[in-house]
Structure 1
Amino acid sequence: MSDKDDKISKSGSYASPPCLAHEIDPAYFDPLAVTPEQARDVQRWRKAKREALRSARKALSVAEHTSVSAKLSAKLEAVLQDRFNGARGQTLSMYWPIKGEPDLRPLMERLHHAGVIIALPLVEVKAAPLVFRRWTPDTKMVRGDWNIPVPPADAEQLTPDISLAPLVGWDNANYRLGYGGGYFDRTLAALAPSPYKIGVGYSSAQLPTIYPQPHDIPMDLIITAAP
């Protein structure tokens, strides 16, 4: 984990909207003052960037994907040990990998056996915050939204102390580029107290900025497989 990956984001670190990015110093951009035109520019830019980044990670070989997943797992374990005393007894929300995301499922099992409470997010209501259900290696998974395996309805519902978020892209201010549905930001805004937020993804998906908007919530930490 590089120093850049390991920094805690600071409020006020924003960049100019893409329509003016070549003309304006990023320090001058106020995301609370974006115009509808700027918001549309950002939306179009993000859609194009998502497609490019997802195509790039789909091109990874099986060996490359396996290597990145293993390195990320080791770094995450180290973070949990160093910052949370292993997170034993705490609830950690993770994710079931889709669309070329790093696969942390072996780590989920190791952490479970180490006493960490694992939760997985899912959509119960469209356009509403996610909910988190407890997962164990014995959980009989069912198909949820987008056909993603999730714990069943009778699984215990939890509130995470630490939350992982897979990254399509990420920037120097620890803002996350997701899939565009807004579920994760909506969920973080609704959780009180807010969990410690860790973004995990590919170092190659780093961007100078994602042009953060008022609804975007920065991660507390970004972890990649980079040295």
Structure 2
Amino acid sequence: MDLTLPDKTVLRAEARAVRRRLAELSPDASMRLAAHTEALLDKEWATDGRWAEDTAKGRRLKVAIYQPRGAEIDTGPLARALIALSCDLCLPVVIERDAPLIFRAWTPGQVLSPDLVGSPAPLADAAEVRPNMILCPLLAFDAHGGRLGLGGGYYDRTVDAMDGRVAFIGVAYAGQQVERLPVEDHDEDMHGVLTETGYTAARKV
């Protein structure tokens, strides 16, 4: 996939079409993606390179996942894999426009309700959580940590407010990668991207 136009509106339209096609062509992508969950945790969070050794010592990780909408890759298998690897899950919630997200504790099967922008979110009585890792959807990504989102800026504001104290990871189809995305000052770089082909850390140049 080669998106080289600098206009983000055009990029988003093209990227949505590509993502829809990938979703149709790869119905098993979510299962293959989930198989690489431990490799992600080994790379981005394990203290000595092996998350299994950390869990044996009783460590747990708070991970923000998301409920897929439209052609976003299904996160059900990924959620189950994270729970099996001693992770506690939470979901993002928009409670105020043009503000950072908050996160509420969640386990698969719990009742969800639309938040301010219509995304499925835990109910207001769920505990608020500060995640160690944020897994986010995207329209396109590049090898340098660039991410093309929907344009609301919620994830960028959230990561900025957390002052670098969180691992920011994209979740996508491998075919959503582009050569290079236009980056603005407010855009937060991802640490890497998890796809059905594996986890790849961003190249910092």
* TM-score, shorter chain, exceeding 0.5: yes
Q: Sort the Cα spacing of 1:159 and 1:69 in 2 relative to 1 into closer, same or farther, 3 A.
A: same
Aligned counterpart in structure 1 of residue 90 of structure 2, from 119, 123, 142? 119
> Following TM superposition, by how much is the alpha carbon of 1:115 offset from its aligned partner in structure 2, in angstroms?
2.8
Alignment partner, residue 93 of structure 1: 64
Q: Which residues of 2 match residues 51-70 of structure 1 at below 5 A?
A: 51-60=13-22, 62=24, 64-70=25-31
Alignment partner, residue 129 of structure 2: 158
Aligned counterpart in structure 1 of residue 39 of structure 2, from 78, 93, 118? 78
Alignment partner, residue 102 of structure 1: 73
Q: TM-score, normalised by structure 1?
A: 0.73
Q: Is the 8 A contact 2:62 2:132 kept in 1?
A: yes
Percent identity of paired positions between Structure 1 and Structure 2? 32
Alignment partner, residue 35 of structure 1: none
Q: Sort the Cα spacing of 1:110 and 1:173 in 2 relative to 1 into closer, same or farther, 3 A.
A: closer
Q: Is the 8 A contact 1:166 1:199 kept in 2?
A: yes
Q: Sort the Cα spacing of 1:46 and 1:90 in 2 relative to 1 into closer, same or farther, 3 A.
A: same
The more displaced of 77-86 and 198-207 is 77-86
Q: Sort the Cα spacing of 1:218 and 1:94 in 2 relative to 1 into closer, same or farther, 3 A.
A: same
> Following TM superposition, by how much is the alpha carbon of 1:91 offset from its aligned partner in structure 2, in angstroms?
0.4
Higher share of residues assigned helix: 1
- Separation in structure 2 between the aligned mates of residue 138 and residue 205 of structure 1, nearest angstrom: 29
- Separation in structure 1 between the aligned mates of residue 123 and residue 86 of structure 2, nearest angstrom: 21
Q: Sort the Cα spacing of 1:111 and 1:173 in 2 relative to 1 into closer, same or farther, 3 A.
A: closer
Please tell me whether Structure 1 or Structure 2 has the larger radius of gyration of its CA atoms: 1
Q: Is the 8 A contact 1:65 1:102 kept in 2?
A: no
Q: Is the 8 A contact 2:38 2:85 kept in 1?
A: no
- Separation in structure 2 between the aligned mates of residue 76 and residue 184 of structure 1, nearest angstrom: 21
Per-residue deviation, residues 106-152 of structure 1 (Å, max 9, x unmatched):
33134335431101001010110000000013522112234321100
Per-residue deviation, residues 23-63 of structure 1 (Å, max 9, x unmatched):
xxxxxxxxxxxxxxxxxxx4xx111111111112223455x
> Following TM superposition, by how much is the alpha carbon of 1:200 offset from its aligned partner in structure 2, in angstroms?
1.4
Per-residue deviation, residues 160-189 of structure 1 (Å, max 9, x unmatched):
101111121011211111001111101100
- Separation in structure 2 between the aligned mates of residue 138 and residue 55 of structure 1, nearest angstrom: 30
Residue type of the partner of 2:40? V
The answer to whether 1:204 aligns with 2:175 is yes
Q: Is the 8 A contact 2:33 2:78 kept in 1?
A: no
Q: TM-score, normalised by structure 2?
A: 0.81
Aligned counterpart in structure 2 of residue 48 of structure 1, from 1, 7, 10? 10
User: RMSD across aligned C-alpha pairs, in angstroms?
Assistant: 2.2
- Separation in structure 1 between the aligned mates of residue 102 and residue 33 of structure 2, nearest angstrom: 25
- Separation in structure 1 between the aligned mates of residue 109 and residue 195 of structure 2, nearest angstrom: 29
